[in-house]
Structure formats: C-alpha cells, structure tokens
Structure 1
C-alpha cells in the first residue's frame, strides 16, 4: 500500500483516485482555493459534484491549507492536477512544503515560453523546485486519450507515462495499476508534453467544419463536411510531428496514443471544438470568446495566446519551418490577431 497525494480536485485529479484506490493505496485529495465546494462535498458525503460519482472510501479530502500536513506524512507519489494557469501557485505550495524528494506525476497540460523558446511544464517544475529547495525531484507526466468522466466510470483507458527515469515510471505505474487503467511507458517526455498541449490547439481547426456547415448549410443531398474535418485532422498531425521533432521529441510519439490518440478523443467534444465551431461560423475570436464562451477556459486558444508570439518569432528566425506550418500559423492569426481562420489547402498540399 502506498500513500498518494493529489493536488487539484478538478475532474481529472479526482478521477485519478479511481485507479489509485483500486490498487489499495491511501489517497489524500487536496483541493485548491477554487475547489472548496468540491472538497466540502467529498469530505461530507464522498460525492464529487462535477464527476457525479462517489469517490472511493480510501480518499481523504482536504483544503490546500492542509497540503503541508499531507506532505509531512511522506507520500510515495504526488500527482499534480491543477490547471496550467495554476502551476506557479502549485510550485509555491510544493516548495514550501516538501522536505525530501517525492516523485511527481503531472496530469496538468501546457507549455511555457522561455528565453530558449518553449519549455515543457515538467522541466519547469523540476527546475524551479530544485532552485528553491536544492532537492532534485523526478517529474513524470501522463499523456494520451483520457476523458475524466470515462476514467471515473472505470471505462478502459490507455495512457502514456513519460519521464527520464524508467525505474520511477515503473514505480508510478505499479502504484496506479488497475484493470481499467492501462499505462504504457515512454522516455519521450518532451514529445508527450508537446502533443498533450497542441492537441487542444489543433482541435480548434478540426472543429471549424461544424461551424462552416452551419454557415453554409447542408448540401442539397444532405452531405456534411467530414472530408474537410478529416483533412484538417491529418494536417494537424503532420504539423504536430514537425513541432515535436523541432523541439526535441520523437515523431513516433505523435503517431501513438499521445499524439493521434489524444487528438482524436479531444476532437469528439469539448471546449476547444466548440470554439473551433464558432471560428468556422466566421466569428472573430474576441467576439466568440466574449459573447459565447466568456466563462470557459479554452486550452487551445490559451496556448495560442501564451505561445503565439514565441512561435511566430521562432518561425521568423528559422528555428521552426514556417513554410511547413500553415495551419499552425492560421490558428495563431485567428486567436492572437482576430483574423478569419484561413484554411488554405493549396499550402497544405505543398507541405
């Protein structure tokens, strides 16, 4: 039996309690300052209001103010499930609470702009904690197609666990083993994290044909726009592979669960696809966000806003092959510059 602390009581962090509990572990689910209602419900009745399930009895729920006490018990694994915007806050909490090296498994997705270009969050987290505490922490990440509601319902889910230490990957996989949660190891931490972030970004484009169809209406014979969506899906994978390789990952990662698998499941439903639909209808991003999704975090759009300028700079400097990234450039233009989402198939054919 292991002790697991999960920081972040949102849907994915909380869904991770299911495989963790199945393996016979003790789990402390720590809510952020945004999770007070969830923590109150779980602590009182065990019911998670957003997942609409009762969490396992092995789960103890507490506020972030008790995070330090949870860490003092010496957990075998810390699972980080805050939003990407909450990572700086989480780094502060970990740095002030950690007393000895504890492996960290990140389910948080996102990237950060750095002086060198783009940095994956596990590297940022490990570097900052070592700088503040002098502790070297192994940081791993989970990627691949995993809808929180399906995991919470114990539906079969296959994911990639990536990191630089194969022994730590094996240990985390053992702690979280469950007959419905299938974990495959990978040493390509960079590739997995690039895919995990950019799948949201490219879903904006794959979702656009739904809006185009609404704008232009069905054909007289009832035909839809699946051909267009499929072409955009294919182009997204091609450009994702270029980014992954240029940033230090492996192309085969894009071809597996972390790339094509995660992009597929993300395109099925969700906020990124809804924003893509609005862009396809011809709405500028600022209007779509303000009038239709003002209270929603659209991860793909936020990635474009956070990294768009960096990506444009890298293309201009030749660090990224801009001529082979036309869809990437079109999404950046749409989100960062409020331009119409341009779908130039002549340019795709040349890539």
Structure 2
C-alpha cells in the first residue's frame, strides 16, 4: 500500500539496491556483470570453476582468461567454493552457458534462502525440454524469484565502462505491482546501474527470454548471407523479418509483442547481427564463405549458442504453431545437411505476404523460379 503524506499526495516507495551479490560464472559476461555491480557499490563475490582464474583475479584484479586487458574493481572478490560465494548473498546472477544452467542452478539451490532472487543471465531454450532458461532453473530452484538480465551488451565494452543499457526482467507479484520500486527487478536494476551502465525494468520475462534465444539464430542467418557476399539490404531484411518471428513466438508463449521493440529484442538483435564480435554472426559468416563447420574458428571447439538454439527454437515454434521461416532455414543448414544457397533461395522465393498480420494475404511469387536460380547460383557455400 502507499503511504499518504499530509497533503494527501502519495509518497513514493524508496528502492534500495542489493548490498551483497553473488555472480556464478567467471566467463567474460559474468566478469563484466560482476565488475558492474562492484562499481555500483555492491559487495560482489564472483565464483569460477577454474582455480587459476580465481586466484589471478584476486592477485592482479584481472581475468587472465577472459577480458585480460580490463582492470577489475578491487572490491570484487573471486572465489572457487560455491558455498562461500553464496553465503549472505542478497541476490544471485547465474552467468554460465545455457547447457550448464540446470546443473549450476541445482548447486546454487543448496546454499541460498527461499526468498533470494536469482537472475539467469544465459540465453536460449533447453534442447531436450523446450524450456526457457528461467523455466529450467525453476525446476531446480523452486519458488525463488527468477528473472534475467538481457540486452545489447558485449562483455568487453561493458567491462570497459562504455555506455551500455540492458533490461532486468522478473515476473511481478501482486505486492510488486503495489510497490514496483521494491520489486526484485527494480532493486537489481539499481544494483547494476553505474555512471555508464543503465538498467531498465520489465515484468515480461517470457518476452525478454524469447528475444534472447531467437536473436542468436537470426544472427547466424545474417552472417551466412554476409559471408556469401551480400550486404546491407539483405542484412536489414533479415533483421526486420527476424523481429517479426520474435514477436510471433513471444506472443504465442504469453509474452508481449512490445517487448521485442526494446533493448532485449531489437537492441540485442541489431548488435548481434552487426558485428563479428558475436560468435553467432562469425559462425554464419564462415559458413557463408563455404568453410565446413568442423573448420570454423580454425577448428577450435567454440560454443555458439545459436547453433543449438536453431533446433530448440524451431522445435518450440512448431509445437506452438508459429511459422519462423528464417530460423527454419538456419536449422536446415546447420542440422539437416541442407545446401545453404538453395535454402536461402527458397526463403526469398516464398509466397508474397502482407506485413500486418491482420491483412491475410498470400500470393504466388511471380519470379520464384528466377529467384531460386539466381540466389542458388550466387551462394556457393
């Protein structure tokens, strides 16, 4: 409830950041988030599996394996013991690859209380179950408040204090709606906000998570076409139609279409589709150049989240009855042995449709055969 002042005007609730934060995962993004929270004033413990990395952070205030050239705040403490990392934490950020979310959440559950909010800072959909990352975590963490931090955020730029914005999303309870400034989303947003990092608050967790999973797949598509020699027109078309695929899936799963127009949607999609800093974009470019998957990244075993997402996203979309032709094209190339040129030629020669979905329209493409022939001939991958 609101407190009434003498003159009858409501006094706004005072929000306070979390004083002690545990960040689970000492990769590049976990390190960047831990540094951001520490710069904001929180006491931060950063957990890492690798004892050498942990020791180096405490000794040199740098993560030698990730972001080696970025100095870290001295108040950031790295730890190797999970119980030590989580002791007394008021909020937890799990920042590990999507395939590790379940096992790490199970460990975290042993050491935190039932009311401690946990943000799952991984993007994707679990392959076997079709669950979003917070849904995966919920099976291990129970009824604890679960949310995410998502947006157009390359880790190195964030760690270097470049102006950056992101969305903090948690479901809002009835109590949160009565006092939104005291919600986990608002308090975590304050905890992460610095002179250079600006956090926004959302209650559409489903929409934000869908955006995070789909954008990786669209980025691979953009990379494929860029690698094949096409330029800005093609990339802009894929980004725009990719936004429509995001909206359709988010809405089908209970999210809001408007969320897709925010930082976690268009913002993150534009960033990921515009730079080879993105591993998704880079993988797509190499495949578009005709490099075999096994030889991409010079043969190194680089994890590319969109590669698994291409299958899990489309599996989920099929169950929900949502058409996602760009994501389906990426899946076909990555997982079904489809020829990249012919697959994207087929994508471009689909029937003519209306942009507003309310205008039900489907017309035969008047130059479908020519489109297929021209594109398949130009894309040699």
Q: Which has the higher helix share?
A: 1
TM-score relative to the length of structure 2:
0.78
Aligned match of 1:321: 322
Aligned match of 2:285: 277
Aligned match of 2:121: 107
Is 1:95 the counterpart of 2:109? The answer is yes
After TM superposition, give the deviation of residue 155 of structure 1 in Å.
0.6
Q: 1:279·1:340 contact (CA, 8 Å) conserved in 2? A: no
Counterpart selection for 2:350 from 332, 339, 347:
347
What whole-Å deviation, never above 9, does each CA across 1:15-74 have from its counterpart, x for those lacking one? 112321222221111102xx33321210221111221222111111111xx2113323x2
Structure whose alpha-carbon radius of gyration is higher: 2
Find the aligned partners of 2:161 and 2:300 in 1 and give their Cα distance: 32
What whole-Å deviation, never above 9, does each CA across 1:287-307 have from its counterpart, x for those lacking one? 323554541111111212445
What whole-Å deviation, never above 9, does each CA across 1:320-343 have from its counterpart, x for those lacking one? 233xx2212211111120212322
Is 1:189 the counterpart of 2:205? The answer is yes
Q: 2:152·2:264 contact (CA, 8 Å) conserved in 1? A: yes
Aligned match of 1:122: 134
> Which ranges in structure 2 are unaligned for 5 or more consecutive residues?
1-17, 173-179, 355-381
Is 1:39 the counterpart of 2:54? The answer is yes
Helix, strand or coil at the partner of 1:248: coil
Is 1:239 the counterpart of 2:239? The answer is no
Aligned match of 1:13: 30
CA change 1:169–1:124 in 2 (3 A) is: same
Aligned match of 1:219: none
Helix, strand or coil at the partner of 2:284: helix
Q: 2:207·2:259 contact (CA, 8 Å) conserved in 1? A: yes
What whole-Å deviation, never above 9, does each CA across 1:82-126 have from its counterpart, x for those lacking one? 1111112212211222244311122122212576xx321112212
Helix, strand or coil at the partner of 1:253: helix
Helix, strand or coil at the partner of 2:110: helix
Helix, strand or coil at the partner of 1:9: coil
Q: 2:314·2:327 contact (CA, 8 Å) conserved in 1? A: no
Structure 1 window deviating more from structure 2 (173-182 vs 150-159): it is 173-182
Aligned match of 1:163: 170
> Which ranges in structure 1 are unaligned for 5 or more consecutive residues?
131-135, 214-223
Is 1:28 the counterpart of 2:33? The answer is no
1:249-268 aligned at under 5 Å gives the runs: 249-267=255-273, 268=275
TM-score relative to the length of structure 1:
0.85
Find the aligned partners of 1:17 and 1:294 in 2 and give their Cα distance: 27
Find the aligned partners of 1:209 and 1:290 in 2 and give their Cα distance: 18
Find the aligned partners of 2:60 and 2:328 in 1 and give their Cα distance: 48
Q: 1:18·1:154 contact (CA, 8 Å) conserved in 2? A: no
Find the aligned partners of 2:350 and 2:52 in 1 and give their Cα distance: 49
Counterpart selection for 1:61 from 68, 78, 81:
78
The aligned length equals 319
After TM superposition, give the deviation of residue 249 of structure 1 in Å.
1.0
Aligned match of 2:293: 288
CA RMSD of aligned residues (A): 2.0
Q: 2:99·2:126 contact (CA, 8 Å) conserved in 1? A: no
Q: 2:98·2:126 contact (CA, 8 Å) conserved in 1? A: no
Q: 1:282·1:340 contact (CA, 8 Å) conserved in 2? A: no
CA change 1:70–1:106 in 2 (3 A) is: same
Find the aligned partners of 2:313 and 2:248 in 1 and give their Cα distance: 16
Counterpart selection for 1:202 from 202, 218, 221:
218
Q: 2:70·2:159 contact (CA, 8 Å) conserved in 1? A: yes
CA change 1:20–1:153 in 2 (3 A) is: same
CA change 1:93–1:338 in 2 (3 A) is: same
Q: 2:127·2:311 contact (CA, 8 Å) conserved in 1? A: no
Helix, strand or coil at the partner of 1:57: coil
Aligned match of 2:308: 302
Helix, strand or coil at the partner of 1:12: helix
